[in-house]
């Protein structure tokens, strides 16, 4: 990939919406697949009471819109300002209690797991029914749209075309969880029929590398959950 194309994919711009400042991709086609669109606000004329506690709006009880769901609430039910990275807001924005809880949980993905995915990890990669794995570094692209696999060859898988993500495990250590050994992916390739399979296997002979690889698998599994939620929006 040329540096010019890469820069175009990663370019961003600052825009102002009714909900606040947002740092969005300069080209909409290169937006993050984990992103959520801003909701349509419930019109003020349809908001006579808080949609949580049923308090009547008046001069003293003001109405507020949750930036995540777009519903109307009183200040008591919509007082939290929480980061909403999936909508690209620069600053924390007002959200109802239910949405704030979800956004706080998602913040862990952006603050921790996303960094792991961008850093990448090394795996033995097996494509389709091939019997010979290839050692490759797997990482998420900066714009979060592609999974890059680099070894003797280079592959790019568009995240939105991944249909199945399954962590492979083995054994149940005493007092612990199953041991992650790899991941099974299924994805479609535009212009072709059927589903392509990909298997990532953790390299066992490097302790530090193994920890990084397992962390990457966990982060990728979390990313898949967010991706499916975005599709169902």
The DSSP-derived string for 142-205 is TTSSEEEEESSSEEEEEGGGEEEEEEEEE---TTSPPEEEEEEEEE--TTS-S-EEEEEEE-TT
Q: Which residues contact 118 (CB under 8 A, 6 or more apart)?
A: 139, 140, 142
27-31, 80-84, 223-227: which range is least confident on average?
27-31
Average pLDDT of every residue of the chain:
88
Q: What gap in Å lies between CA 214 and CA 9, rounded to an integer?
A: 28
Residue 74 pLDDT grade (very low, low, confident, very high; cuts 50, 70, 90):
very high
140 close to 117: Cβ distance less than 8 angstroms: yes
pTM value is: 0.79
């Amino acid at each position: 990939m040329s540096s010019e194309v890469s820069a175009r994919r990663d370019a961003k711009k600052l825009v102002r919406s009714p909900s606040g400042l947002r740092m969005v991709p300069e080209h909409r086609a290169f937006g993050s697949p984990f992103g959520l669109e801003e909701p349509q606000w419930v019109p003020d004329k349809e908001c006579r009471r808080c949609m949580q506690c049923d308090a009547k709006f008046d001069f003293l009880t003001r109405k507020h819109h949750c930036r995540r769901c777009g519903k109307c609430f009183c200040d008591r039910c919509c007082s939290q300002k929480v980061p909403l990275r999936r909508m690209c807001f620069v600053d924390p924005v007002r959200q109802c209690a239910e949405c704030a809880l979800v956004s706080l949980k998602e913040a862990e993905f952006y603050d921790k797991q996303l960094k792991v995915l961008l850093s990448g990890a090394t795996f033995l990669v097996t494509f389709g029914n091939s019997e010979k794995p290839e050692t490759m570094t797997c990482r998420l692209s900066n714009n979060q749209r592609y999974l890059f696999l680099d070894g003797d060859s280079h592959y790019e898988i568009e995240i939105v075309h991944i249909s199945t993500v399954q962590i492979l495990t083995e054994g149940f250590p005493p007092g612990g969880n199953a041991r992650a050994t790899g991941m099974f992916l299924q994805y479609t390739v535009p212009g072709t029929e059927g589903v392509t399979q990909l298997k990532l296997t953790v390299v066992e002979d490097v302790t530090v590398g193994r920890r990084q690889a397992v962390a990457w698998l966990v982060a990728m599994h979390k990313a898949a959950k967010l991706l499916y939620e975005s599709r169902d929006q």
